[in-house]
A and B are shown apart, each in its own frame.
Chain A
Amino acid sequence: MGKGKPPHLHGALDLLILRCLSIDSMHGWGVSKYIQQTSEGVLEVNQGSLYPALYRLEDQGWIRAEWGTAPTGRKAKIYHLTRSGAKQLAVEESEWAAFSTAVDRILAPA
């Protein structure tokens, strides 16, 4: 169940999705491929986590969904970043930066 996940992974997924959509609007499959490819295979998002996250972000109003046509010509649901989503992205990016800095500090040789 999504609710049982440790919070920061949750947050990271949101961040990644928002980042992805800030570059270009795309459908769910596209988002998962982008994350996989851009991370050079390190991060693989499984569909069971992706779509719930997409729906949650949509419910929060940070992304918007529209039915359009994929490059293949097939009908697909395309997600766009909203203005409030862009703001949220900035917030999450700075939070992530603060988080990773803090972890680095702890892990740094004494």
Chain B
Amino acid sequence: MRGSVLDRVARRLRILFRKSQVEAEMSEEMRFHLEMEVQANIQKGMSPAQAHREALLAFGGVERFKERARDQRGGRAVDDLWLDGKLAIRKLVRAPGFALVILLTLGLGVGANTAIFSVVSSILLRPLPYPSSERLVRVFQAAPDRNSTRGSFSLLDGRDWAERSTTMESLGLYSTLAGGLVFTGGDEARLVETAYVTPGFFETLGMGALHGRFLAPEEEYGDNRLLVLSHGYWLREHGGDPEVVGRSLDMEGQAYRVVGIMPPDFAFPGPEVEAWTFLTVISETSIPIHSRGVRFLNAIGRLRPGTSWEEAEAELSSVAMGLEEEFPEANMGITRSALVPLQDFMVGDVRLALLVLFGAVGFILIIACANVANVLLARGIGRGQEMALRSALGAGRSRLVRQLLTESVVLGLLGGGVGVLLSVVGVELLVNGSAGLLPRAWEVEVQGGVLLFALVVSLLTGLIVGLLPALAGSRAGLSQELKDGSTRGNTATGQGRLHQGLVVAQVTVAVVLLVGAGLMVRSLDRLRGVDPGFESEGLLAVSMVLSDSRYPERADHMGIYHQILEGYQALPGVEGVGIIRYLPLHGSGESLEYQVLGSPPPPQGQEPRAWMLQVSEDLFDVMGIPLLEGRSFSIEDEPEGPLVLVINRTLAQTAFPNGGAVGGVFQVGETEAQVIGVVGDVHQESLRDAPRPTVYVYQEQIPRIGMTFVLRTLDDPLQFAAEARRVVRELDPDQPISSITTVEAAVHGSTAQAGFFAVLLGAFASLAFLLAAIGIYGVVAHLVAKQLNEVGIRMALGARPFEATRMIIWGGMAPVFPGLVLGVILAIPLTRLMQGLLFSITPGDPLSYLGGAVLLTAAALMATLIPALRAMRIDPASLLRYE
């Protein structure tokens, strides 16, 4: 039976921690033995000196024997690791330049990976912060015959779905379209970003309030002016005072009572939301919320445990069909539901881009590792003597490999440490730089799982980086090294091949990255080149939402609009002012069903739809939207007079394929409207998507309380921002402006996300490019140094310097060409994965491939040229002298 496990562990620990004591004991034991042996020899009759000598001889090599003894003692592996580790660190301290380069290279590689992994894990992998968030879904109404798959809800429909569904535990509705509440209780009117919700909203998300409570169903009508504040808003405006709960805040002249504060994680529908209140506080005049056909609400739902979303989708579809039967005019065609898991919905857009970036940093790490491996390989030659000595002292090959690996793992771990520090900074920069472009960006942090990832990556990096050099270094002609003591006796071809191989790998990976980045940049370029349909320069956009309590009637809206319009037109430097409901590229809009009078009615449920936008009479002019046919609105089109419309070219072609759009009549619901003009297409949704059929109505005839003033200015539009605010403030000090921006910025902002990813990928590709170039330079310089003798001899024998240079360049570029070819071959399938990110560029775009290959070849050439030119200037005599 073996001794108890505890004893063994205790012994091993003692060996580890009481190292010096254990060693001293062993020496003591040897000394004792020696003395006894000497005594015995003296008794046999030898002289003391002779006795001593004989004893030592019998003893054998002490150190060697100590090694074997230590071997048997157990705990050797750990002991060795510790020793090697300390040795490795001491070596690094003694060669700070070397250490710096390696640690920086590894640090960049590990750091970039850790940073992107933080982002990927926080945004894509980590579940949403709500309880059982896997059961949360975004719910849509769908009318398949109309090609509508992500339809919004009306309040009544939403309530019925919630009540009648058996598969959904709860359903909540929300909207931010009604604008925000204005806080008027302070010195200045301030817009509070508000989300209007049903009680089911909080119930569905399931996160409790930090202080107080959230909105309760019974309070939805009656005394329903209640607020739940966001954590951020509470800290900013109320200093985090819990006593705020129960207090009333003055919003637009009315008292809203604060009933609760949400925790910091709660940021739905987004981090910009500062307060939640009941949907039912919206007055019917601004939005008729109790009309079943008025659909502007978003819906989230919580599935019952154990229900799949396919089951729920089917069940809700039957609820939809039931409602269609009960309310045919409002719900015709809405026969299905569409469910999307909430997390997917929130992050689905960026998933591909983030994964591409993750792949990119993985490639950077490969290049960095190849660089470091090359350096270690090169250095390995200089350590041949050390290895030979150790071998003579009794270290086996595996022991040597272990030592070298330990050194490289130490490098890996230290590099990893540097990397983690870099990644913390990197993540900060990423999150701040992405400013609202990344969903869930506020949740990104470097924590537990990410640090574990960094640790594993560092360890693996260290092992991979060290494996080749360790195997090569421990095999290096050991006896040969000791004999002639020179450092250049190695098989140059063997080592050289390893170096070349690593360079091929680097070039391959760098090419793939360059091609990928090239594609993204070209795609972005194409996207930004799309003509939006209007002139984006020299325009200032001022958006505001009128408070329906202060401007309840249409006459009131129009009154204040006219006053503001006149105020703006009077400003010096302003050439023209127009009003539009939503700026293009804003993303949202209203839509309506229409029918062309005189054409056969479409089947029920398949009525064509178009976007609808309110504009003033000057808007097309101010924004440079070309008038193609007919005329624009004019003040002669009376508010109560016959309804007139201007349509865009796409709608004209759809509705009047044979021409004659002007004069054509549309039927919208009960009303007839005449088309008076056709304008050019405008990209209302995004530059990516084709323009949709759009109807422009005269704002005098169909006003809305939220509009955007567009000012054409002579100079830089932003200079007019302060004046724009002043005009409004003078007319109504309590009317806040929701945003002031230049139209140019808005257009640019619509490609911001694509731009962000392109910049990142470009940066990574540049880093990879740089690392690869440095790597090639390092290898060539090293090989040149080794082959200096050969070069010197050749030159002494009469070869022209040019010959030598050509040889070096050829040798240096040799691995680059296979690398390019491999890289292109690898890039083809890999870039196909990026397809979803590209706009009007195919993954096989030859220019990107060509560009990448040319860039890399140029860099490699330069990297090779520098050492080659230096070699040329060498005096052969001085070279040979050192032999």
Contacts and interface: CB of A to CB of B under 8 A. Distances in A.
Interface of A: 1-3, 27-29, 33, 46-48, 51-53, 55-56, 58-62, 67, 70, 74-77, 82, 84, 87-88
Contact of B33 (A28, A52, A67, A84): A28
Contacts of B8: 59, 61
Contacts of B36: 29
**A-B pairs with the 10 shortest C-beta distances?**
A61-B3, A59-B74, A52-B72, A56-B72, A29-B36, A55-B73, A55-B72, A84-B1, A48-B65, A29-B33
A52 B71 contact: yes
Contacts of A77: 25, 28-29, 32
A55 B394 CA distance: 19
A59 B72 contact: yes
A60 B68 CA distance: 17
Contact of B60 (A33, A47, A74): A47
Contact of B7 (A1, A2, A47, A61): A61
30 contacts: A1-B68, A1-B71, A1-B394, A2-B71, A2-B72, A3-B71, A27-B33, A28-B32, A33-B40, A47-B33, A47-B58, A48-B65, A48-B68, A51-B65, A51-B69, A52-B68, A55-B69, A56-B72, A59-B8, A59-B11, A60-B2, A61-B3, A61-B4, A74-B35, A77-B28, A77-B29, A77-B32, A82-B3, A84-B2, A87-B1
Interface centre among A28, A61, A88 (most CB of B within 10 A): A61
Contacts of B64: 48
A59 B30 CA distance: 19
Nearest to A62: B3
B345 interface: no
Contacts of A74: 32, 35
A76 B58 contact: no
B810 interface: no
A58 B28 CA distance: 17
B59 interface: yes
B685 interface: no
Contacts of A51: 29-30, 65, 69
Contacts of A88: 1
Given A51-B65, A51-B69, A77-B29, A84 B3 contact: yes
Contacts of B68: 1-2, 48, 52
B37 interface: yes
Contacts of B396: 1
A5 to B, nearest CB: 11
Nearest to B61: A48
Interface string B396-417: 1000000000000000000000
A76 B394 CA distance: 28
A62 B28 CA distance: 22
The range of chain B's interface size is: 20 to 34
Contacts of A27: 29, 32-33
A28 B29 CA distance: 8
A53 B69 CA distance: 8
A76 B32 contact: yes
Interface string B56-82: 001110001100111111100000000
- Mostly, the B contact residues are helix
A101 to B, nearest CB: 25
Given A75-B28, A82-B3, A48 B37 contact: no
Interface in B73-103: 73-74
B29 to A, nearest CB: 5
Contacts of A70: 32
A82 B394 CA distance: 32
Contact of A46 (B4, B11, B58, B69): B58
Interface centre among B30, B64, B65, B69 (most CB of A within 10 A): B69
A83 B183 CA distance: 86
A87 to B, nearest CB: 6
Contacts of A29: 32-33, 36-37
A51 B30 CA distance: 9
A93 to B, nearest CB: 16
A74 B69 CA distance: 23
A67 B72 CA distance: 20
B64 to A, nearest CB: 8
A23 to B, nearest CB: 19
Contacts of B32: 27-29, 70, 74-77
B60 to A, nearest CB: 5
Contacts of B37: 29
A52 B66 CA distance: 8
A21 to B, nearest CB: 15
Interface in B1-43: 1-4, 7-8, 11, 25, 28-30, 32-33, 35-37, 40
Nearest to A74: B32
A28 B72 CA distance: 15
A10 to B, nearest CB: 11
A77 B30 CA distance: 10
Contacts of A33: 40
B70 to A, nearest CB: 8
A91 B72 CA distance: 22
A47 B61 CA distance: 10
A69 to B, nearest CB: 11
Contact of A61 (B2, B30, B60, B70): B2
Interface centre among A58, A59, A88 (most CB of B within 10 A): A59
B60 A48 contact: yes
Contacts of A82: 3
A52 to B, nearest CB: 4
A58 B74 CA distance: 9
Given A47-B65, A76-B32, 19 more contacts: A1-B68, A27-B33, A28-B32, A29-B33, A29-B36, A51-B69, A55-B69, A55-B73, A59-B8, A59-B11, A59-B73, A61-B2, A61-B7, A67-B25, A75-B32, A77-B25, A77-B32, A82-B3, A87-B1
